[in-house]
Every structure is written in C-alpha cells, then in structure tokens.
Amino acid sequence: MEKSRAMKRDWVATARTLSEALPFLQRYDDRVVVIKFGGHAMGDDEAMAHFARDVVLMKQCNVHPVIVHGGGPQIASMLKRLGVESTFVDGLRVTDRETVEVVEMVLAGAINKRIVSAINAQGGRAVGLSGKDANLLICEKLTRTKKDPGSAIEQALDLGFVGEPTQVNPAVLETFLRSDFIPVVAPVGVGRQGETYNVNADTAAGAVAAALKAERLLLLTDVEGVRDRDGDVITDLSPQQCQRLIDEGVIAGGMIPKVRTALDAVEGGVGAAVILDGRAPHAVLLELFTAHGAGTLLRR
C-alpha cells in the first residue's frame, strides 16, 4: 500500500511538471533552437542517449532543433592513430591538407552518424549533413595575427585550412524544419574554389543560428556557465556587462570565444544565447521548459 502511494505521488509530481511547462511550450511553439553539442556528453553513451531523447521530445512539442556538433578529442585520437602530427596556435588546430581530410572524415563521418543514430534510436528522424552540403557554410581562410615578443610587430599566422563562415545558406535546413526531420550538422565548410575548411563548432553554430533567426542558441560546454569573480555562475548578461568582465579578466581563456560567439549571434538576430553545462541531465529541457533555466543567458 505504501509503495502504491509513493508511486501515485511520483505520477502526480510528473503531471504537475508537465502542467508547469505549458507556458514555455507555448513560447517556443514552432520556433527554431540551434544547439551546439560537444564535450563530455559526446563521449558518453548514456549522456548521448539522454540528449537524443530530449531533442526528440523538443521536436514532438513542435520546437525545431538544429544540432551543430564538435569533435576535437575524437579528431585528436584519430590523428594519433594515423600517425599525423597536429599542432595548435593560440588554441586553434593548424590544419594542413592531410589533417583536414582526417577532420572531415571524423566530423562528417563517424561523429555525425553516431549522433544521427542516437536520435533515430529514440524515435526521431535525424538527417546528417555538413556545411559543404548545399553550400550551407561558405568560408574563407581564417586569418590571425600575433605580436612578436621581441619587436612587438604583428605577424600573420598560417593556420592552414581553418575557415571562417562568410555566407550561410540555410535553405536546406529550412526544408528539414518544415518536416519531421532533425538536421545534424558537422562543422566542415567549403571555400569559393571548393576547398574544405575546418570550422570551430561554436562559430558554426552561431552563424547557423543567426541565419535562421533562431529563438535560442544553446552552447553546451563542460562548465556550468560564465562565472563571476567569486566563482558563482552568472545567470544573465548583457553585451556591456560581458565586455566589462572581459576587460577585467573575469571572463578569460576559452570562455572568451564562446561569449563572443554568443554575442555575435544575438547581434545577428538570435533571440538569446545560453552557455550551459551539457553534462547536466536534461540541461536543454531545463533551460527551455522551466522557470529555473540553466547556465548563463546572453541577450540584447
């Protein structure tokens, strides 16, 4: 009898949660949400399954997810297996012709199809593609400079086939969004002369979100969000606050490009961007469909 009462309490709690989610389901009805997927969840089968189930639930609720994924650790592992040396400059992988072939093989091949399979296993209808398909991501060679410590003269860095999206053609994604299909995009772009470019996954997700005028851009990471000087997660940030925290060194290291990607997306027409912990169970659902939210929200 006690077990039966406990089960009833659990079901009532579930029903209450669903009821409380109604305003949020209405808010995101028929809206586009771009999710950059990467980090810990990609390497863990259970976390991958939970993410896939959440994405299928979103689509079932008439929210239109677009997944853009990374794969840095998997690329590094494959390069090591193949005996291809890889170097980094200011956190960016130098991508020569041999390396970019491996990058495309891993991103548009193994990783992309693993995510597609996980979503399909949960009852979804996922389709994998890369930024080369239908000229989704047209890129130019990324240019970076660095000051010489001795002379303080700016020197150009040659990163090889690392690309920066200059044009996004979202027609192929819009076709999927008008259907039951869930697009899963590998961040591999194409140059004007047909070159293959390795694109940072955060950058690719931000560019896609802006082109689609998405309601939300969710950047899933391995941290809980942007932290203040005391180490507490900041729940809400404006562009002016972000710049001040960067100038003060509070936002530093690898968080700077994520914040700048989020701000660029918002400036490009995205409703808001969120940096959140992809390791947390149901992080995407918590952010979209509860008053609690998750991570750090950046908006105009």
Three-state secondary structure of 263-275: HHHHHCCCCEEEE
H helix runs in 21-160, sequence order: 22-27, 40-43, 45-60, 72-82, 97-105, 112-121
Are 232 and 182 found together in one domain? no
Q: For residue 98, is it within any domain? A: yes
Q: For residue 16, is it within any domain? A: no
H helix runs in 163-237, sequence order: 171-177, 201-212
pTM of the model: 0.89
Are 86 and 231 found together in one domain? no
Are 188 and 269 found together in one domain? no
Identify the domain boundary among 150, 184, 214: 214
Domain of residue 45, residue span: 32-214
Check residues 14 and 242 and name the one with the higher pLDDT.
242
Strand partners, 147: 154
Does 139 score more than 90 pLDDT? Answer: yes
Residue 32: predicted pLDDT: 96
Instruction: Decide: residue 67, CB within 10 A, 0-12 exposed, 13-18 middle, 19+ buried.
Output: buried
Coil, helix or strand for 165?
strand
Q: pLDDT (tens digit, 9 = 90+) per residue, 148-182?
A: 666 556 666 778 888 999 999 999 999 998 899 99
Check residues 41 and 124 and name the one with the higher pLDDT.
124
Question: Looking at residue 85, which CATH number applies to its domain?
Answer: 3.40.1160.10
Identify the domain boundary among 214, 244, 272: 214
Q: pLDDT (tens digit, 9 = 90+) per residue, 91-130?
A: 677 888 888 999 999 999 999 999 999 999 999 999 999 9
Q: For residue 207, is it within any domain? A: yes
Are 197 and 259 found together in one domain? no
Q: For residue 18, is it within any domain? A: no
Residue 197: predicted pLDDT: 95
Q: pLDDT (tens digit, 9 = 90+) per residue, 68-93?
A: 998 888 888 898 898 888 777 766 77
Q: For residue 221, is it within any domain? A: no
Identify the domain boundary among 166, 189, 214: 214
